[in-house]
Structures are given as structure tokens and as C-alpha cells.
Amino acid sequence: MARVIELYDTTLRDGTQAENFNLSVDDKIKVCRQLDRIGIDFIEGGWPGSNPLAADFFKRMQDVELKQAKLTAFGSTRHFQKSPEQDANIQALLAAKTPAVTIFGKSWDIHVIDALRIQLEDNLQIIEDSLAYLRPQVQHLIYDAEHFFDGFKNNREYCLATLGRAIAGGAETIVLCDTNGGTLPHEIPEIMDRVQQYCAEQGSTVRIGIHSHNDSETAVANALTSVHLGANQVQGTINGFGERCGNANLTSIIPALIFKMGLECKVGKRIDQLYTTARMVNELANLPHNRYQPYIGESAFAHKGGVHVSAVQRNPMTYEHIAPEKVGNTRRVLISDQSGKANVLMKAQKFGLDIDQDNPMTASIVTELKRLENMGYQYEAAEASFELLMRRAMGLQRDFFQLEAFRVMHHTHDQQEPVTEATIRLYVEGNEVHTASMGDGPVNALDRALRKALTRFYPSLEDMELTDYKVRVLTGEYGTGAKVRVLVESKDLEDSWGTVGVSVNIIEASWQALVDSINYKLMKDEKNRN
């Protein structure tokens, strides 16, 4: 039986320390649900004692049921001058009511002396005290040995002693952290061997984990090397987000563990959702996708050169190290109209649409999808728009209303708040509706006017609201004219959905996303009635 590797995701904590990477509490909950869905073992939600946003997240997560993952609270060892009972951060970890807690402590003597400004023996004591206090109160207790590799190189005896105290305190897993990201793969074997030897000398069978940063662009290599040498837990982030140059990228590590090293992970059962997961995180963070990213980038399985294209069409193995479908990606033969069929068929199955590979409609949808993608549309966080696209192509989507015109007016007066007004003229089942509404900006005004016009025909729209709005400027790749992509999140009493619009005009792009959102709601309600 293959060795089982635990996957520990720290996107919501270490990932959000990346420059320009920010997630709201709602976004974090969405990411958490998706990570649980694909089979991540531990999801580090953040440092509950650090800020109100983190505290709010953990409070709200108490009402969210995770089926596989163990939500994890993260924090430091106790303050030297306080007992665990008196330490606010330690108590915040318990107040988070998570099944797992991760405590980090200092492994590098330089940090003990210069950062904590305490004696080396005192640091050993606070490590053991903090863990021993938490051990009977949590289901899973993990110790992150911060700066372990630098500490080992500088003072290996002391560095190993910190692990000994963590073991004595009751840690079930000790995680070796390359916090500064300066370690190279060839250094890992000697250090791993000595750590394993030391644990055996302590009579301990504690699990060993690896937490690597990418400052030398070796985070993935260091993680995989550590696993090869016996590590049983890998910590990282989706898309490698993290402070400075980032963390070990789980979207590269997971396929390597499963397909290259023959190891088992819970994610293995749903690894075909890796592509979708990676892009969802980017969309929620409102950041562009790295098309050249291994495994899940748009270009990861794209073939352009004539020799390559010819060979791949005969046998994909000639220029692909794995089949793209294994991670939910698609092969793109750039001169072929066949690329994208697998994704379309997968979505069709999910949406309950009866279509197969040989149906001419499938090729038509693929062609339309490629055309829209070239214009800047992306559907990873806007599945509602994609379902509507498919239904329209198959003749299954009726028009709930027909737009005649809309106008947005913005009024600014001296020493007064600006006022935005939207007017809309449309038809519903032959009835002309002409209405207007005020709003906090053009999008809000349009949203209010549209629903004001439609609610008397479709009362269920009263249960719907816009919850998020993101704008991304699309440049370079999409021509000299600056296009924008608008992503709108909506919800009703049952679920939430995302829609997208693209235009050189931000109002038009917003309108597209809003109309799709309304149409999806009405389509969904109609399906439920039938």
C-alpha cells in the first residue's frame, strides 16, 4: 500500500501575506469549502488573535460543516512573561474552536536572542509549555519549527533541542520550515536524515512535515525531496501565493505526489478539480492567472509548433508528461477546433445537459467559448454565465425579458454627495416597462433599476441580492483598447453564483454580468418549479 501524505493548505493565512493578495471573509469561506471539497486534510484559516477579520472568519466557520478537512487555527508560542492561561494569543486559539491548532516557535538561536530577546533555555521552555497546555484541549496539535533549516545550519544541537521540546509537549506533527526560502534541494537529505535520527533517539514516532518558501525558486523541489526522504505532511498554498516570493505551490506538488511519486492523498479522488480550484482562488483575489503555471496554466498543455502539433495529434504522450484531464485542464492544439471539448462535456454533465462529443453542438459551443475567451471572458468563477451560454447554444434558454435601452447618469454638485441614476426600458412578455432608480454608483443603480422593472413579473427576485463586484483591466494580450472584465457574485436564499461581462466600457461589462445574474436566477427558479 502506498504511503499516505497529508496536505496542509495555508492559502488563507500565509497566502494572504502576499503582496496584492487579499480575500474577504466571504471569499475565505468559499475557498475553505472548495479545499474541503477536493480533499485537503488541514486548512489553516489564519491567526485568530491577530485582527478582527480573522476572528470573524473563525466565528462564522463554526456554522460551516467541513466534510473532510480539519480547520486549523495558527498562532505563536506563549509570551515569555505570561503563562498559557494568561496569554491572549493562546486563548484566542482555543476560542476559535477548531479541531486542529498549529503553534510556531523559534528554531534559530539568532531569532531567540535578537527577535525574542530571551535566553535559549527560556525559548525551549515556552515551546514545551505552550504545546503541553494545548494538547488535551485540541484534537490535532501541529508544531511549525520556524526558520528550522537556517537554525540547523547555524546551531544544529540547539535547533534539534527545540524539536525535542515540541515532542515532549505533545506535538503530533513537527514541521520543518524553510522560512527564508534560502535552502537548496541538495541540502535536504543530510538535514532530514539527522532529524529522523534525532526523533528515533527520543523514542518518538512523531510525523514530520515540510513548509518551504520560494525565495530561491526551490520550494516545490524542497517539498518533494523531503517527502521522498520520509516527510508525511506537506504545507503550501494554492498557486504558490505567500510572503515575498511565495510558498510551495500545492497545484504543482499534488500532481507530482500522486502521478510521479505514486503516493496517496485524499485529493487524489478529486484531483480533476485542481484546475478549477486554482483559478477560483485567483478570481476571488481578483488577480490574473499565470497561464504558464505547470499543470493548471492555460499554456501548460498548449501546442503551437508544427512538429509538436503533428505529433500530439497522433499521440499526446509525445509532448505531454501527463494527460491534462487528470488535473481538470485541457489540451490546446492552437490550430485545432478540438481543444476544450473535455471541459464543455464535463460542464454539460454538471449542468444536467444532454450532449455528447459527437454532437455538432459540442463543437459549436467550443468554438464560441474560444471566441469569448479571446475577448477576455473567463468562466472559472462565473459558472452561471457559462451554463447560460451552453443553454442558449442548445436552444434551451428562453428570454425572460428583452432590453430596449438603458442609460446611466452621474450628477456631482459642490459640497454634496454624488448621485447616480439609471433608467431602463425593456419588454417582459410583450409588456413595455420603463423605470429608473438611484444607486451608490452606476452598477448599484443599474442593479436596482433592473430588479425594480422585473420584480412585479418575477417576485422571487426579491430574494436575490448582489454580494460582490470585481473589475479587472485586460491589457496587452487583448489589443490596444483597454477592455475590462467584470465579475459579479449574487445569492438568494438557497445558493450563490457568479457571472461575467467583458467590454471596453465598464458600464456595458457590468450590465452583461448583471443581466446574466438575473437570467440565471430566473432559469434556476423555473427548473426548480418543474
Is the confidence at residue 105, as pLDDT, over 50? yes
Please tell me which residue, 332 or 395, carries the higher pLDDT value: 395
What beta strand segments (E) does 314-358 contain?
Answer: 332-333
What pLDDT, in 10s, does the model give residues 25-63? Answer: 999 999 999 999 999 999 999 999 778 888 899 999 999
The CATH class for the domain spanning 301-336 reads few secondary structures
Angle of CA points 169, 172, 177, to nearest 5°: 90
Question: Which set of grid coordinates corresponds to residue 168?
Answer: 515532549
Closest CA to 97 of 64, 129, 131, 53: 64
What pLDDT, in 10s, does the model give residues 187-199? Answer: 999 999 999 999 9
Is the confidence at residue 307, as pLDDT, over 80? no
Sheet with 483-491, side-by-side order of all strands: 465-474, 483-491, 496-503
Domain locations along the chain: 6-284, 301-336
**469 within 8 A of 498, measured Cβ to Cβ:** no
The model's pTM is 0.70
What beta strand segments (E) does 192-299 contain?
Answer: 207-212, 233-236
Is the confidence at residue 11, as pLDDT, over 80? yes
Question: Which set of grid coordinates corresponds to residue 343?
Answer: 471541459
Element (H, E) at 121: helix 120-134
Mean pLDDT of all residues belonging to the chain: 90
Tell me what pLDDT residue 216 has: 97
Contacts (Cβ under 8 Å, ≥6 apart) of 75: 47, 48, 49, 89, 90, 92, 93, 101, 102, 103, 104
DSSP 143: E
When the candidates are 3.40.190.10, 1.20.140.10, 3.40.640.10, 3.20.20.70, the CATH number that belongs to 6-284 is 3.20.20.70
Contacts (Cβ under 8 Å, ≥6 apart) of 171: 103, 131, 141, 142, 143, 206
Element (H, E) at 8: strand 6-9
DSSP 79: P
Query: 3-state DSSP: the chain helix, strand, coil percent, rounded to 5?
Result: 45, 20, 35
**69 within 8 A of 35, measured Cβ to Cβ:** yes
Tell me what pLDDT residue 291 has: 87
Question: Which set of grid coordinates corresponds to residue 113?
Answer: 536572542
